Structure 1
Amino acid sequence: MEYLLQNFDVNFNYQVHFTTHLFDPANDCLRNYLHTQAATAYRKKLLVILDQGMAVQHPGLAGQIATYLRSIDGFDLAPEILTIEGGEAVKNDLALFLSLVNAIDKYKIDRHSFLIGIGGGSLLDLVGFVAAVSHRGVKHIRIPTTVLSQNDSGVGVKNGINFNGKKNFLGAFAPPQAVFNDSHFLTTLHSRDWNSGMVEAVKVALIKDLAFFNWIDAHAAALSQRQMEPMQELIYRCAALHMQHIGNGGDPFESGSSRPLDFGHWSAHKLEQLTQFALRHGEAVAIGVALDSAYSYLLGWLPEQDMHRVIQVLKTMQLPIWHPLLEQQGNAPSPVIAGLEEFREHLGGQLTVTLLRALGRGEEIHEMDTEKLYQAAAICKALQ
Structure 2
Amino acid sequence: MDLIRQHVRVTFSFPIGFTRGVFDPANRMLRDIVAEGADPAPARAVVVLDDGVARAHAGLETRIGQYFDAHADVMTLAAPVLVVAGGEGIKNDPRALDTIHALVHDARLCRHSYVIAIGGGAVLDAAGYVAATAHRGIRLIRVPTTVLSQDDSAVGVKNGVNGFGTKNYYGTFAPPTAVINDFTFLATLDDRDWLGGLSEAVKVALIKDAAFFDAIDAQAARLVARDMAAMEAVVRRSAELHAEHISKGGDPFELGSSRPLDFGHWAAHRLEHLTRHALRHGEAVAIGIALDCTYSRLAGHLAEADWRRIIDLLQALRLPIFHPALAAHLDAPDHPDSVLVGLEQFREHLGGRLTIMLLRGIGQAFDAHEIDREGMIRSIEVLQEMAAAGSTGTAGSDLRFAASARGLS
Q: Under a length normalisation based on structure 1, what TM-score does the superposition of the two structures give?
A: 0.97
Check 1:66–1:305 CA distance in 2 against 1; reply closer, same or farther (3 A cut). same
Q: CA deviation at 1:325?
A: 2.1
Q: CA deviation at 1:237?
A: 0.3
C-alpha distance in structure 1 between counterparts of 2:134 and 2:37, whole Å: 20
Q: More displaced, 96-105 or 12-21?
A: 96-105
Unaligned runs of 5+ in 2: 388-409
Matches within 5 A, 1:129-208: 129-208=129-208
**CA deviation map 1:32-83 (0-9, x unaligned):** 22222223x4532010000111111110000001110222213221230000
2:83 matches 1:83: yes
Secondary structure of the residue that 2:339 maps to in structure 1?
Answer: helix
Contact 1:326 1:374 in 2 (8 A): no
Q: CA deviation at 1:5?
A: 1.3
Matches within 5 A, 1:214-253: 214-253=214-253
| Residue of structure 1 equivalent to 2:42 | 43
Q: Match of 1:383, as an amino acid? A: M
Q: More displaced, 22-31 or 82-91?
A: 22-31
Q: Match of 1:312, as an amino acid? A: D
C-alpha distance in structure 2 between counterparts of 1:25 and 1:175, whole Å: 27
C-alpha distance in structure 1 between counterparts of 2:19 and 2:195, whole Å: 21
Q: More displaced, 332-341 or 284-293?
A: 332-341
Matches within 5 A, 1:1-384: 1-39=1-39, 41-72=40-71, 73-329=73-329, 331-333=331-333, 335-384=338-387
Secondary structure of the residue that 2:91 maps to in structure 1?
Answer: helix
Alignment length (residue pairs)? 383
Unaligned runs of 5+ in 1: none
Contact 2:272 2:284 in 1 (8 A): yes
| Residue of structure 1 equivalent to 2:391 | none
Q: Match of 2:86, as an amino acid? A: G
Q: Match of 2:379, as an amino acid? A: A
Check 1:315–1:94 CA distance in 2 against 1; reply closer, same or farther (3 A cut). same
Check 1:10–1:330 CA distance in 2 against 1; reply closer, same or farther (3 A cut). closer
C-alpha distance in structure 2 between counterparts of 1:17 and 1:274, whole Å: 36
- Supply the RMSD in Å over aligned alpha carbons: 1.2
Aligned-residue identity in percent: 50
C-alpha distance in structure 1 between counterparts of 2:276 and 2:126, whole Å: 18
Q: CA deviation at 1:3?
A: 1.4
Q: CA deviation at 1:210?
A: 0.5
C-alpha distance in structure 1 between counterparts of 2:255 and 2:61, whole Å: 39
Q: Under a length normalisation based on structure 2, what TM-score does the superposition of the two structures give?
A: 0.92
Q: More displaced, 344-353 or 329-338?
A: 329-338
Q: CA deviation at 1:306?
A: 1.1
